[in-house]
Structures are given as structure tokens and as C-alpha cells.
């Protein structure tokens, strides 16, 4: 099976000369369709840089990146935005919901920039609200929801365009333990339904739920089990 996401020799540098710092250093990573992948690492390990590269928010300094068989290097900002909307569903630690829009309107935002027929929007919104077990919350405002419910809505928004891959940035970072576990249960259900997931997390317990686990350290990526055996 060909890789949905493929990074080859991927490096990201900041600064120049003696001040040059490698946030990512020659990273090779492949994520196949249908996989559930977790990436963990300490603060400053390069996790944010990796997410920004994979999420098409920041270009590589060196190396190659293909997404769904398309070369991502050298595309214009407009082209990257189109690819991002077509292929990626982003889930953020801080939810990033618009406070004065209803839940339905928040979920609708990615559809505004998509090629999906407007006639299907209502059905799509209802479908994803049901997927996250909040079918009757469409008319509420984000401030009327708990943190866990807001994160579920953020997941629904990421799902509404039926992206090739869900990219989750510390999805339980702002949640209590019980609510975090509930979100992880939702991720397992989404994976079981065939969704591809790439999750960055500080939580080893949550990372262990993924089918494939990686460790990012000082800009370099390792198979998690191999890295732990090497340290033992």
C-alpha cells in the first residue's frame, strides 16, 4: 500500500549561520491510509514543526513531502490551501472554535472553502455531529459547552469534509483525565471506522493507543519501541 503521507529527508531550519537551529533533522516518515499513528516527545523536540509541515502551514527547508501521491514542495499558498482543505482535517488543543458562531456554523466553515455541493452541507453536519455523539447541539454556542464537548465539536469540524487524514495536535492537552480518555475512545472509534489519524501528544498512555508509535527527539524521529529498548 502506498503511503498517504511520505516525508523523505525532511529538515526544517530556523536562523542562519552559527544561529541556525534544526527543528527537524532528516526525518523519514510514512503513514499509510487507515493507520493510527502517534508521535510523542518532550517540549522543543520538533513536534510543532512536524505538525506545521505535515499540515502545510510551513514549508520544508530541505527534503521531500508527498501527500496522497502529490508533491507538496514548491506549491503556492493558494494551492496549499486547496490541498489542505481537500485532504486534511485539523484538530487543535485549544479547539479554535469561533465563539459567536453556532456549532453548526463552526462545523460549516471548512465546507465554505470546499468543492462539496451546498445541498449536502446540512446532511454532512448532522452526520458528523452524530459521529461525535452530539446530534442535538447544532444551535448552541461554544461557550455553552464543556471542554470535552468543544473538543468533540472540533473533531466534527475536522471530519465534515471527509479528509484523507485527521491531524490532532495534543487533542487532550486542555482536558481533565476522564474527559481525555473519552476523546481517546472517540479516536479509537474513528480509526475503527476507517479514518487515518496522526496524533501528537505528551501523554504516553494515549500515545500507546495508536497502532504505530514514534518518538521525536531533537528533531529526529524514531520508532518508539526501538527507542525504549535502546534506552533500557
Domains of the chain, CATH where assigned:
36-47+78-231 (3.40.50.300)
Model confidence, pTM: 0.91
Rounded to 5 degrees, what angle do the CA atoms 68, 71, 76 make? Answer: 115
Q: Is the dihedral of CA 127, 105, 52, 186 positive or negative?
A: negative
Q: How confident is the model at residue 43 (pLDDT cuts 50, 70, 90)?
A: confident
Contact by Cβ (8 Å): 54, 63: no
What's the CA gap between 129 and 139, in Å, rounded?
12
Other CB atoms within 10 Å distance of the CB of residue 15? 9
User: Could you read off the pLDDT of 45-92 as tens digits, one per residue?
Assistant: 999 999 999 999 999 999 999 999 999 999 999 999 999 999 999 999
Beta strands in the chain (DSSP E): 3-14, 21-32, 36-40, 62-67, 70-71, 88-91, 165-169, 196-200, 212-217, 220-223
What's the CA gap between 220 and 23, in Å, rounded?
9
| Secondary structure class of 12 (helix, strand, coil) | strand
210: Cβ contacts below 8 Å, ≥ 6 apart: 36, 37, 38, 197, 199
Q: How confident is the model at residue 178 (pLDDT cuts 50, 70, 90)?
A: very high
What's the CA gap between 45 and 219, in Å, rounded?
6
With a cut of 80, say whether residue 226 has pLDDT above it. Answer: no
Strand partners, 91: 168
Model pLDDT, residue 6: 97
Model pLDDT, residue 18: 77
H or E, element range at 128: helix 121-131
H or E, element range at 187: helix 177-192
Amino acid at each position: 500500500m502506498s503511503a498517504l503521507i511520505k516525508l523523505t529527508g525532511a529538515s526544517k531550519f530556523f536562523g542562519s549561520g552559527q544561529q541556525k537551529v534544526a527543528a527537524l533533522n532528516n526525518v523519514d516518515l510514512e503513514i499509510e491510509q487507515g493507520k493510527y499513528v502517534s508521535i510523542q516527545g518532550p517540549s522543543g523536540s520538533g513536534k510543532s514543526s512536524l505538525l506545521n509541515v505535515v499540515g502545510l502551514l510551513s514549508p520544508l527547508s530541505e527534503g521531500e513531502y508527498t501527500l496522497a501521491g502529490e508533491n507538496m514542495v514548491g506549491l503556492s499558498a493558494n494551492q496549499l490551501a486547496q490541498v489542505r482543505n481537500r485532504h486534511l482535517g485539523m484538530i487543535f488543543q485549544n479547539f479554535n472554535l469561533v465563539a459567536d458562531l453556532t456549532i453548526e456554523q463552526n462545523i460549516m466553515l471548512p465546507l465554505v472553502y470546499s468543492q462539496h455541493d451546498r445541498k449536502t452541507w446540512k446532511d454532512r453536519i448532522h452526520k458528523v455531529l452524530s459521529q461525535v455523539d452530539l446530534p442535538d447541539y447544532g444551535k448552541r454556542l461554544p461557550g455553552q459547552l464543556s471542554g470535552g464537548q468543544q473538543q468533540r465539536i472540533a473533531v466534527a469540524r475536522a471530519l465534515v469534509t471527509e479528509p484523507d487524514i485527521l491531524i490532532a495536535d495534543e487533542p487532550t492537552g486542555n482536558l481533565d483525565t476522564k474527559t481525555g480518555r473519552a476523546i481517546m475512545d472517540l479516536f479509537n472509534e474513528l480509526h475503527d471506522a476507517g479514518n487515518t489519524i496522526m496524533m501528537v501528544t505528551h501523554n504516553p498512555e494515549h500515545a500507546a493507543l495508536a497502532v504505530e508509535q514514534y518518538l521525536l527527539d531533537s528533531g529526529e524521529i524514531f520508532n518508539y519501541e526501538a527507542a525504549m529498548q535502546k534506552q533500557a
